[in-house]
Amino acid sequence: MSGYNRNLYKKLKKFRFMLTEEQILEIIELWRKKTRLPLKKRLIVKEIKASINKEVIDLVGVRRSGKSSELFLLIQELKLKDDDYLYINFEEPLFIGNYSVSLLENIWQVFKQNYNPSGKPYIFLDEIQYIEGWEQWVRKIRDLELAHVFVTGSSAKLLSKEFGTKLTGRHKTFQVFPLSFKSFLAFKGVKEQDISSKKLMVKNKQTILKHFKEFLVKGGFPEITITKNQDLLKEYFDDILYKDIVSRYEIRDVKSLKRLAVFCLTNITKKFSYNTIKKLYGQSLESTKAYLSFLEEAFLIFQAPFFSYSLKTQENHQRKIFAIDNGLRNAVSFRFSKDKGKLAENLVFVELKRKNKEIFYWAGKNEVDFVVKNKDNKLIAINVTYSQEIDKKELKGLFEFKENYKQKVKETILLTKNIEKTEKGVKFIPLWKWLLKGNL
């Protein structure tokens, strides 16, 4: 977001005015045209369709990860006619300064008065976090069975227990990330059937590896994958900071927030403590914790705690930090030439997060990059290396963890650049192959 646009946004936010029926209709029709644009398909649409008749559907995730496109694809998959659905994006400039539940109600009334749905209509509310109290309005629409409701948001607060309570639990959440490697390949023309068997995987291996090299460094934001315009990533970063954090939480010390964000993105996979960051930037402990929380709520970064069955032990250890996307991280951080190992580890974290896993790290005399705790309480230990030769410490960490937790450890995995074998109970799997086939 440019400085000019940020200043305009601040000015408009102060004003409150009523939109006319004609203005609302113009906005509905303008956004309706966008929902009809041709799009590349992603795997999540099938899952969403299966939940339509049950609950409110909410899609949450980092800005520009493809939430709106998922709604557009859904509209197209359902073959909805113009009268059958209402799509509104609350980042519409005319809404600034008018964010309230009454805006929602006005739009709904205009839709009902001017359109004639053939059955229960579909309502798609994009970037809903701007409307305070929207949950009660959506709950009313759902409880009275007036429409099928879909919402999206760029805030992790939509994942909170408080949010679920306000909707009385009857909602289904889908977390949308930048493209997985499988979806990235699909965007590049490598179809799912091209990697559906070992034979086809071998046949297409060189093409897959070529695309993996790009994916590792440039990430998976959909628009970047299509346009290859890496400069857009800096705009994404600014939009996340200013729209999702600065504006929402009325941050005054924007410079410190931005410095902290760059620090986090530069230091992915490293351990940190609040006190360390506090000393580095001269902030209070309270501000440090708040800013990190805001960055995490905006899905820019994630934290992984130390693995222990004792919560006190967890809290006494440092945490590790990860980024939502390698491309975004590389666009704004202070990069170093030997970063591919970090990028590989970060990819694994995001993929585990995409699979909704409970993720930790562990350290004794040696380290384990990831400990995954499954629903059955069984543990999976994973180390990641991206060098031609395997350092012995990678195996030592897995062996030490297995020795400490014995029967609780279901599996030990070493993700590699190109080595595939099983040795002393450890599965060696090429990272690119694990990303395509990795079931935990």
Using pLDDT thresholds of 50, 70 and 90, give the confidence band for residue 128.
very high
Residues 6 or more apart whose CB falls under 8 angstroms from that of 416 comprise: 385, 386, 390, 428, 429, 430, 431
Residue 283, helix vs strand vs coil: coil
Residue 209, helix vs strand vs coil: helix
Q: What is the pTM of this model?
A: 0.91
Range with the lowest mean pLDDT among 50-64, 101-115, 385-399?
Answer: 50-64
- Edge-to-edge strand list for the sheet holding 301-304: 271-272, 319-323, 301-304
Query: What's the rounded mean pLDDT across residues 375-393?
Result: 95
Res 7: pLDDT: 54
Residue 142 pLDDT > 60 = yes
271 forms beta bridges with 320
R_g of the chain, CA atoms, integer Å = 23
Residues 6 or more apart whose CB falls under 8 angstroms from that of 48 comprise: 57, 59, 70, 74, 174
Rounded distance between C-alpha atoms, residue 185 and residue 183, angstroms: 5
Domains, the chain, ranges and CATH? 18-176 (3.40.50.300), 182-437 (no CATH)
Residue 230 pLDDT > 50 = yes
Rounded distance between C-alpha atoms, residue 436 and residue 352, angstroms: 12
The Cβ of residue 100 has, within 10 Å, a number of other Cβ atoms equal to 15
Q: What is the pLDDT of residues 62-73, one digit of tens each?
A: 999 999 999 999
Q: What is the pLDDT of residues 100-121, one digit of tens each?
A: 999 999 999 999 999 999 999 9
Q: How many CA atoms lie within 13 A of 28 on its CB side?
A: 24
Res 170: pLDDT: 76
Query: What's the rounded mean pLDDT across residues 211-230?
Result: 95
Rounded distance between C-alpha atoms, residue 62 and residue 236, angstroms: 10
Query: What's the rounded mean pLDDT across residues 309-336?
Result: 93
Locus of tokens 């309230």: 100
Smallest Cα–Cα separation from 322: which of 333, 308, 336, 307? Answer: 333
Res 4: pLDDT: 41
Residue 139 pLDDT > 60 = yes
Smallest Cα–Cα separation from 182: which of 440, 405, 434? Answer: 434
Q: What is the pLDDT of residues 331-374, one digit of tens each?
A: 999 876 668 999 999 999 999 999 999 999 999 999 999 999 99
Res 80: pLDDT: 95
Residue 8 pLDDT > 50 = no
Smallest Cα–Cα separation from 87: which of 10, 22, 149, 133? Answer: 149
Using pLDDT thresholds of 50, 70 and 90, give the confidence band for residue 260.
very high
Q: What is the number of residues in the chain?
A: 440
CB-based burial label for 135 (10 Å; 0-12, 13-18, 19+): buried
CB environment 353-368: b (16+ within 10 A), e (fewer): beeebebbbbbeebbb
Rounded distance between C-alpha atoms, residue 67 and residue 52, angstroms: 16
Rounded distance between C-alpha atoms, residue 349 and residue 343, angstroms: 10
Residue 127 pLDDT > 70 = yes
Token reading at 239? 């939009």
Q: What is the pLDDT of residues 148-165, one digit of tens each?
A: 999 999 988 776 655 666
126 forms beta bridges with 89
Asked if 245 contacts 257 with a C-beta cutoff of 8 angstroms, the reply is yes
State residue 142 phi and psi, 5-degree precision: -70, -45
Res 163: pLDDT: 63
Res 192: pLDDT: 85
Asked if 274 contacts 285 with a C-beta cutoff of 8 angstroms, the reply is yes
CB environment 286-300: b (16+ within 10 A), e (fewer): ebbeebbebbbbbbb
% of the chain at pLDDT higher than 90? 75
Residue 74 pLDDT > 80 = yes
Residue 3 pLDDT > 60 = no
Rounded distance between C-alpha atoms, residue 209 and residue 345, angstroms: 17
Residue 34 pLDDT > 50 = yes
Q: What is the pLDDT of residues 303-312, one digit of tens each?
A: 999 999 999 9
Q: Is the dihedral of CA 311, 315, 317, 320 positive or negative?
A: positive
Residue 11 pLDDT > 70 = no
